[in-house]
Structure 1
Amino acid sequence: MSNLATVPKNGTLSNRNSNGNYLNVSDWLDDIFNRDLPSVFTSNFNTGMSLPKINIKETADAFMVEMAVPGLKKSDFHIDLDNQVLSISTETKEETEHKEENYTRREFGYSSFKRSFNLPESINDEKINANYENGILSILLPKKEEAKQKPARSIKIL
């Protein structure tokens, strides 16, 4: 019989019955709250927009970041660089109002997201540029000259 305490997912210490014939309340609650939830609950529902996926491609000369975010305008994006941390964010608000003789209907919409990345020291931050076209935000992160991959070469033996 073991006297070791186990640490469940919620971080609290609990003693488990060594015969394992019953489920205690803590385990039951862990099971309820840690099971896979429908995507409506795991998305960024507080902001009205799910977190867009990012593709990052590395070449010998640069990194290319691509983010699919259709339906926005260039002016909706904010791209900031602070101490080698690249942040991409957007915030959109929409308000409509429909007035009739007996009632007024107002609808409000708000959506936002923010993604941040620690950039390697090899990035030439003076030459970073971004483009938004056909729903794809592309950010080119060029490497410093000394960090660029040199082509393979043969070395002659003397």
Structure 2
Amino acid sequence: MLFRYNSAQDFNTLESYINGLLGDTRVPSTQFEKGSVKVPAAELQETDDAIYLKLELPGLEAKDLDIQVTEDAVHISGERKSETQIQNNGTTKSEFYYGKFQRVIPLSARVQNTNVTADYKNGILNLTLPKSEREKNKVVKVNLEQTTA
């Protein structure tokens, strides 16, 4: 008897099985030529005066991160280094992602990139990005002239 081998289908079956055991814990990812690269999850909040960006970066130390802010985007990159473990018997199954990552988050308004403040605690990075003065003053009152007919 002959069976056709379908590696993609087998991989999807294995992924479904692992997700069923551990719960679906996948984080957002982007696709590059060499496969899937994990990127940190982000949350943006905007007020009249600032944009607040929160990034989830568990297991990383501040020294492993590179954060650059332009007037219209936040560029973040880093590397999660693998911890070497020696085991005598058994196997290790891991869904952790080790390696370099990079993410660019476009901003909805221009910010004063020289006045950004950051706080990094318990794997959560909080950035406060104050809006530029011209963004704060974007509301323009329109005067309507009454015409007599």
TM-score range, shorter chain: 0.5 to 0.7
Using the TM superposition, give the Cα deviation of residue 140 of structure 1 relative to its aligned residue in structure 2, in angstroms: 1.2
- Any residues of structure 2 matched to 1:9-48 within 5 Å, and which? 43=29
2:107 matches 1:115: no
Residues 86, 43 of structure 1: alpha-carbon distance in 2 compared, 3 angstrom cutoff: closer
Of 47-56 and 87-96, deviating more is: 47-56
- How many residue pairs get matched? 110
Consecutive unaligned residues in structure 1, runs of 5 or more = 1-31, 101-108, 152-158
What root-mean-square deviation, in Å, do the aligned CA atoms of Structure 1 and Structure 2 show? Answer: 4.1
Other-structure match for 1:4: none
Q: Which moved more, 1:119-128 or 1:71-80?
A: 119-128
1:96-115 paired onto structure 2 within 5 Å: 96=84, 110-115=98-103
TM-score, normalized by length of structure 2? 0.54
Q: CA separation of 1:69/1:47 partners in 2, compared to 1, >3 Å: closer, same or farther? A: farther
Match of 1:61 in 2: 49
Quote how far apart the aligned CAs of 1:47 are.
8.3
Look at both structures and tell me which one has the larger radius of gyration over its CA atoms. Answer: 1
CA contact (8 A) 2:116 2:128 kept: yes
For residue 74 of structure 1, what is the aligned residue in structure 2?
A: 62
Q: What displacement does 1:66 show? A: 0.4
Gaps of at least 5 residues in structure 2 are: 1-8, 17-23, 89-96, 140-149
Structure 1 residues 43 and 83 mapped into 2: Cα distance closer, same or farther (>3 Å)?
A: closer
1:86 equivalent in alignment to 2:74: yes
Q: What fraction of aligned residue pairs are identical, expressed as a percent?
A: 31
The answer on whether the counterparts of 1:44 and 1:51 sit within 8 Å (CA) in structure 2 is yes
Structure 2 counterpart SS, 1:96: coil
TM-score normalised by L of structure 1:
0.51
